[in-house]
Structure 1
Amino acid sequence: MQSLSRIALAASLAVVSMASQAADWSDTSIGYRYGSKFAEPFGSTEIHKNIFNLTHVSGYSYGTNFFNVDLLMSDKSDPSGVTVSDVNGERVATPSHTGAQEAYVVYRHTLDLAKVTGKDLSFSVVKNIGLTAGFDWNAKNDVGYNSRKRMLVAGPTFMFDVPGFLNVSLLQLWESNAPSGYSSFSNDSFAKPRYSYDAHPMLTAAWSIPVPVGLPISFEGFANFIVAKGKNEFGNQTAPETNIDMQLMYDVGTLWNTPKKFKVGFEYQYWKNKFGNSYKGGNDGAFAKTPMIRAEYHF
């Protein structure tokens, strides 16, 4: 997994470098966040995670690019593997004492329809309309599932006339996965071919809005509301998913006359029916409520 993380990071840096060279404007940052209340479906609800991220946003003549890679490192409450031993002739699996690692990549491109058509597309509180397309990609080495998610997205984006920005998109999702892990239910390893869920829509919002309190504080984040995606690869019905991640960030750089360089703040994530797994029936790990601390440096 460490080599996979290095590959993901190297590829991310290459993408950021190419996008920056072609951009009219760009903002690239590295960040860190930490929380002790992360949860995973069918797993613990008290997982500690250290998360490092690289984020790039840029604009060119006809639109914008957004790219983010998270490297997530869990503690042993979300183990990375198992040790199999023979006990009285029976194979017994013992979770590893090392935590799982995950790389999660998101890319979105939004085509600015006003710039493409040369027309004013504003109406009411909407100042512009775009077309968004992109992908999600992940890999994780946890003991129970070993996710290999691949997802394509496409749909319209509405840009609202607010201080800062607020973009709301209605995207169609085409998602597949190919888990390969160790089943704690059967004490044996498993590997499944790539499985495609039903195509399904997501209503998503992203925002960064200054808070009018006389200090350089901004309210930032995203929210995803995803409908059920049919049956999963194990034949179980999926559930509608809500993932809200919001932050209050203080621009510390203003103290040294370098605004928009270094930010610190608090973050909270509310994730119900995580990855489409229902939290009901004792699956508490599918409902995460996670406070975090966060810091980011902008180049």
Structure 2
Amino acid sequence: MKHFTTTVTAALLTLGTAQPAQALDWMDNTVGYRFGTRFAEPYNPQDIRKHIVNLTHASGHAYGSNYMNLDILKSDRKDDSATEAYLLYRHTWDIGKLSGKEFKGAGMRGLGLTAGFDWNHKNDKGYASRKQMLVAGPTLMVDVPGFLNISLLALWESNNPIGVPKRYRYDTHAMLNAAWGIPLGSGWSFEGYVNYIGSKGRNEFGGPTAPETNLDMQLMYDLSTAAGLKPGKLKAGIEYQYWRNKFGNPSNVPGSLAQTPMIRAEYHF
């Protein structure tokens, strides 16, 4: 676990500092922290306290954009005092820039093709997730202040938790995703994402899965000027996550519904 975290962190920071080699037009790296006391985990009826540190890289080049996020999550004893690493990467190719044809107008800023992966590792004693997932599909870039991207992605997901002798592959399923960052003025911004994920067939133990709804949104305030920094460097605010049928577990499973308020702070560099 320690080796993986060190390796991924180094890779993330290397990507973030590789501007000349990548010919990046823009880049934003973030280290952040969030905390909440009402996290939920399937088959666990208790509210769980978690500290989360994230490293994020976002950048754009002549033909598209990159997004990478690594969360390190630390649970309290109600979740075996577990540590989890969750890594997400997405690359979006701008079809208009690649083809020389503009896909603009009628509220569109552009059209893209997105591909990437998710990877996680958790060391709890009950399930111990080892998720791997590839994603691919089209992305609509909506013409709004800031950004709003809407993607329809195919998901190829597998896992190899405790009690499963070999990696189990779920049915290929779909996800409708929207991600946004909207400036509200006077230093405020509204940011977040929402995923609607279709059922992925039977789980690795033979039980049914259910469609998921995962909404994560933040209201952030720019504290940079008060801290003597350039605008956009230091932000803090509140975050809320609503996750129904978490990880595809049906609603009759304890802990399958998360309604989690959090505090959040982040430094951009």
TM-score by length of 1: 0.86
CA deviations over 1:114-136 (Å, ceiling 9, x no partner): 11111111231112100000000
Deviation, 1:143, is: 1.1
SS of the aligned residue for 1:7 comes to: helix
The equivalent position to 2:216 in structure 1, one of 234, 245, 254, is 245
SS in 2 for 1:115: helix
Q: Determine the structure 2 residue equivalent to 1:65.
A: 66
Q: Do residues 6 (structure 1) and 3 (structure 2) align?
A: no
Q: Distance in 1 between matches of 2:251 and 2:46?
A: 11
Which residue number corresponds to residue 93 of structure 1?
A: none
Distance in 2 (CA, whole Å) between partners of 1:56 and 1:260 is: 15
Question: Any runs of at least 4 consecutive aligned residues in structure 1 with deviations exceeding 2 A, and if so which?
Answer: 1-21, 254-257
Q: Distance in 1 between matches of 2:59 and 2:182?
A: 18
Question: 5 Å matches for 1:37-116?
Answer: 37-79=38-80, 99-116=81-98
Residue equivalent to 2:170: 197
Structure 2 residue runs of 5 or longer lacking an equivalent are: none
Q: Which amino acid aligns with 2:201?
A: G
Report the 3-state secondary structure (helix = DSSP H, G, I; strand = E; otherwise coil) of the residue aligned with 1:211.
strand
1:262 aligns with 2:242: no
How far the C-alpha of 1:176 sits from its partner, in A, is: 0.5
Consecutive unaligned residues in structure 1, runs of 5 or more: 80-98, 181-189
Alignment of 1:100-179 (within 5 A): 100-179=82-161
Q: Is the Cα–Cα contact under 8 Å of residues 16 and 27 in structure 2 kept in the other structure? A: no
Structure 1 residues 19 and 136 mapped into 2: Cα distance closer, same or farther (>3 Å)?
A: farther
**TM-score if structure 2 supplies the norm length?**
0.95
Alignment partner of 1:224 is 2:195? yes
Distance 1:211 1:16 in 2: 27
Q: Which residue matches 1:292?
A: 262
After superposition, the CA RMSD in angstroms is 1.4
> In the comparison of the two structures, how many residue pairs are matched?
267
SS in 1 for 2:225: helix
Deviation at 1:211? 1.7
Equivalent residues of 1:207, 1:221 under 8 A apart: yes
Q: Percent identity of the aligned residues?
A: 56
Structure 1 position 16, deviation (Å): 3.1
Which digits, 9 at most, give the CA deviation of each residue in 1:189-243, with x for residues without a partner? x34310000001100010000124xx21000001100010000100011000010
Q: Provide the rounded CA distance (Å) in 1 between the counterparts of 2:46 and 2:9.
A: 28
Query: Counterpart amino acid of 1:298?
Result: H
1:90-110 CA-to-partner distances (Å, cap 9, x unmatched) read xxxxxxxxx000000000000
Which one has a bigger Cα radius of gyration? 1
TM-aligned CA deviation for residue 44 of structure 1 = 3.8
> Which residue of 1 is the match for residue 247 of structure 2?
275
SS at match of 1:39: strand
* CA offset digits 1:119-167 (Å, max 9, x no partner): 1112311121000000000000011111110000000000111111100
Spell out the pairing of 1:17-28 with structure 2 (5 A cutoff).
17-18=17-18, 21-22=21-22, 23-28=24-29
For the 8 Å contact 2:218–2:240, the answer to whether it is kept is yes
